[in-house]
Chain A
């Protein structure tokens, strides 16, 4: 071990997954503040010009999705490291690539005025109507490519380590158990989940890299051009797979931590393996539900998109939701703040999936697509799902397990966050049902009734989240110091 590596080991705050989680938590807080700015603007409390609004919207979107990715892989890496030999240098390389990408993206948005939204839907980055320069779009896209390269590296390392330890990804996925009824040694749930996410996120990232590269070429070489429908398919395939991966990585924390509270092992069963393998396919095949209003798409792809939107919800409920409930039921578990957040995460994710799959019905989508219904469901399973898992892991690393359960102040921040998140998401859903479009810098006076309560709920989420962060950070620093001494 080099002296530098030894020094890093001695100071756990510099342990790369902790660093990723702490900075991720901080960025979540900053990005939530941007969310509050948007809500306050739509409610008429703030005079953000449309130009600034759309920059903030782009930053909030890519900042949140990127941070969900960062914290998701940190959770994955942290728990997968219990079962396989991961090369820590790869995580540092990931962080370096990720950070340099972030610098380019921030520069493009806040210096160059890039505001094509995080989904960079072709050909908007190149054709801005004179608002930002095409070169600025290249900087944004290059930033995305760097961030994506980091994730690609990291998942390749996970795939390598899984294969080295389990003798192939099929074994890590638990296929011998699924198809032959027995497997020894049995991969634990964390390994099965990690293997599935690694496979589908790698495929998503490759498609994402391709569409980013073509979008850049299209700007640099004027003669080049891309079919906008093909680009839309590729972008939504990548975007859908990536944001789903952030949740599926973070949920590993539930499989790993909850059994410590309930005293019941969470073992890999045949149905668990089947569910994750089905999910591995469905997560990719379901993406046309983002194109339900492109009637030129072959009808069967849209029908598959609709059917699989429902189909992906079923394994989630069958395995993770029911699995958690049966873990808890009459277990006598005493839930402290991290455990309560893990339970909230599974509940919020399951709840948020309901309006999401319903929106995947073609006939429903015709009146809900691109209304606030959509931020309604994704804010529910992100704020009360993915991000709740991340706070849980952060607090768990910082404070360990608290045998006394929730303290009074734990309870306050927990309920602030839960009620704020639920109120914000339900408010978006109700506004969507009232036909309020998404991504509008200026709201019609008739819509403002939906925005005003959202401001209050946003403040509650932010206060709760700041509470989690404040509770975690001193613990992390102190623990780091203690471990460095010991």
Chain B
């Protein structure tokens, strides 16, 4: 996911740069008559239509199915996550591989961010851990190993020290 997002963003930024460089290279000499307004409104119309169609397609593609959907049923493993300054309590701390796991995150004091990182240090998913509310997030781990939980919402002095481990067990 992250690689695709980075590549798409760099591409979009590059398009902006190219448009500016192109126009700045054709800055002058001035034409007698400025055909700008008509040209501009034609180009603008095209860009508007194109961006609306592309936007609608993107919205459908990325919102269906709903990214925060949480599975239910007997196969689902639940983990209770409770954050407080500055530690995580996970129950249980071991989950099986290949099975949907639903994390129920809440907090005993301020806002924290429940972020799960794979053994290589890549962020897999996150949700906010907030006092008075329980946010649910689902994930199916595909590899066994030791995963790290880091805090992703600033929560004061030891925010960066708020870590825990989650063990994903191989199929028995």
Residues of A in contact with B (beta carbons under 8 Å apart)? 50-51, 54, 115-117, 121, 123-124, 127-129, 131, 227-229, 232, 263-264, 269, 271, 293-296, 299, 302-303, 306-307, 310-311, 314, 317-318, 321-323, 325-335, 343, 347, 350-351, 354-355, 358-359, 361-364, 366-371, 429-430, 433-435, 437, 439-442, 444, 446
Contacts A329-B23, A370-B126, A441-B160 given; does A433 touch B47 at CB 8 Å: no
Q: Which of B32-40, B72-80, B92-100 lies at the interface with chain A?
A: B32-40
Contact indicator B125/A439 (Cβ below 8 Å): no
Chain A contacts for B150, CB-based, 8 A: 437
Q: Which residue of A lies closest to B19 (CB)?
A: A325
How distant is the Cα of A210 from the Cα of B130 in the complex, in angstroms? 21
> Could you give, for residues 98-112 of chain B, a 1 whenever the CB lies within 8 Å of some chain A CB and a 0 otherwise?
000000000001110
Contact indicator A326/B63 (Cβ below 8 Å): no
Do most interface residues of chain B lie in helix, strand or loop, or is the interface mixed? mixed
> Could you give, for residues 120-149 of chain B, a 1 whenever the CB lies within 8 Å of some chain A CB and a 0 otherwise?
011111111011111111000000000000
Contact indicator B68/A429 (Cβ below 8 Å): no
Offer 11 A-B interface pairs, CB within 8 angstroms, sorted by A. A54-B157, A54-B159, A124-B154, A271-B44, A318-B47, A358-B5, A361-B62, A366-B67, A367-B126, A369-B152, A435-B2
Chain B contacts for A335, CB-based, 8 A: 27
Contact indicator A116/B6 (Cβ below 8 Å): no
Q: Which residue of B lies closest to A340 (CB)?
A: B24
> Which of these, B3, B16, B30, B111, contacts A347 with CB under 8 Å?
B16
Contact indicator B124/A331 (Cβ below 8 Å): no
> Which of these, B24, B31, B130, B152, contacts A437 with CB under 8 Å?
B152
Contact indicator B9/A429 (Cβ below 8 Å): yes
Chain B contacts for A321, CB-based, 8 A: 16, 19
How distant is the Cα of A128 from the Cα of B68 in the complex, in angstroms? 31
Contacts A228-B132, A351-B13, A354-B9 given; does A314 touch B28 at CB 8 Å: no
Q: Which residue of B lies closest to A310 (CB)?
A: B55
How distant is the Cα of A321 from the Cα of B85 in the complex, in angstroms? 46
Shortest Cβ gap from A224 to chain B (Å) = 15
Contacts A293-B113, A322-B43, A354-B9 given; does A314 touch B62 at CB 8 Å: no
Contacts A264-B36, A329-B26, A358-B8 given; does A435 touch B117 at CB 8 Å: yes
Chain B contacts for A314, CB-based, 8 A: 48, 51-52, 55
How distant is the Cα of A124 from the Cα of B19 in the complex, in angstroms? 44
Contacts A299-B66, A369-B126, A440-B160 given; does A332 touch B28 at CB 8 Å: yes
Chain B contacts for A326, CB-based, 8 A: 36-37, 39-40, 43
How distant is the Cα of A327 from the Cα of B133 in the complex, in angstroms? 52
Chain B contacts for A328, CB-based, 8 A: 23-24, 27
Contact indicator A124/B62 (Cβ below 8 Å): no
Chain B contacts for A264, CB-based, 8 A: 34, 36
- Asked if B119 lies at the interface with its beta carbon under 8 angstroms from chain A, I say no
> Which of these, A121, A332, A333, contacts B154 with CB under 8 Å?
A121
- Asked if B155 lies at the interface with its beta carbon under 8 angstroms from chain A, I say yes
Shortest Cβ gap from B49 to chain A (Å) = 11
Quick one: which of A299, A369, A437, A444 has the most chain B CB within 10 A? A437
> Which of these, A127, A263, A310, contacts B110 with CB under 8 Å?
A127
Contacts between chains A and B (CB distance < 8 A), count: 221
Chain B contacts for A435, CB-based, 8 A: 2, 117, 121-123
- Give the 10 A-B CB pairs with smallest separation, nearest first: A332-B30, A332-B28, A354-B12, A435-B123, A433-B6, A326-B40, A440-B160, A355-B9, A370-B152, A363-B67
- Asked if B71 lies at the interface with its beta carbon under 8 angstroms from chain A, I say no
Shortest Cβ gap from B50 to chain A (Å) = 10
Contact indicator A302/B68 (Cβ below 8 Å): yes
Contact indicator A367/B36 (Cβ below 8 Å): no
How distant is the Cα of A361 from the Cα of B4 in the complex, in angstroms? 13
How distant is the Cα of A446 from the Cα of B117 in the complex, in angstroms? 14
Q: Which residue of A lies closest to B3 (CB)?
A: A433
Contact indicator A228/B126 (Cβ below 8 Å): no
Chain A contacts for B127, CB-based, 8 A: 293-295
Contact indicator B16/A294 (Cβ below 8 Å): no
Chain A contacts for B12, CB-based, 8 A: 351, 354-355, 358
How distant is the Cα of A330 from the Cα of B27 in the complex, in angstroms? 4
Contact indicator B16/A350 (Cβ below 8 Å): yes
Contact indicator B40/A228 (Cβ below 8 Å): no
Chain B contacts for A439, CB-based, 8 A: 154, 159
Shortest Cβ gap from B35 to chain A (Å) = 9
Shortest Cβ gap from A267 to chain B (Å) = 9
> Which of these, A129, A322, A347, A433, contacts B85 with CB under 8 Å?
A129
Contact indicator B111/A121 (Cβ below 8 Å): yes
Chain B contacts for A429, CB-based, 8 A: 6, 9
Shortest Cβ gap from A61 to chain B (Å) = 10
Contact indicator B6/A50 (Cβ below 8 Å): no
Q: Which residue of B lies closest to A226 (CB)?
A: B132
Chain B contacts for A361, CB-based, 8 A: 58, 62
> Which of these, B5, B29, B113, contacts A370 with CB under 8 Å?
B113
Contact indicator B5/A333 (Cβ below 8 Å): no
Q: Which residue of B lies closest to A50 (CB)?
A: B157
Contacts A295-B68, A295-B136, A351-B16 given; does A124 touch B123 at CB 8 Å: no
Contact indicator A124/B155 (Cβ below 8 Å): yes
How distant is the Cα of A46 from the Cα of B43 in the complex, in angstroms? 51
Q: Which residue of B lies closest to A380 (CB)?
A: B13
How distant is the Cα of A333 from the Cα of B115 in the complex, in angstroms? 51
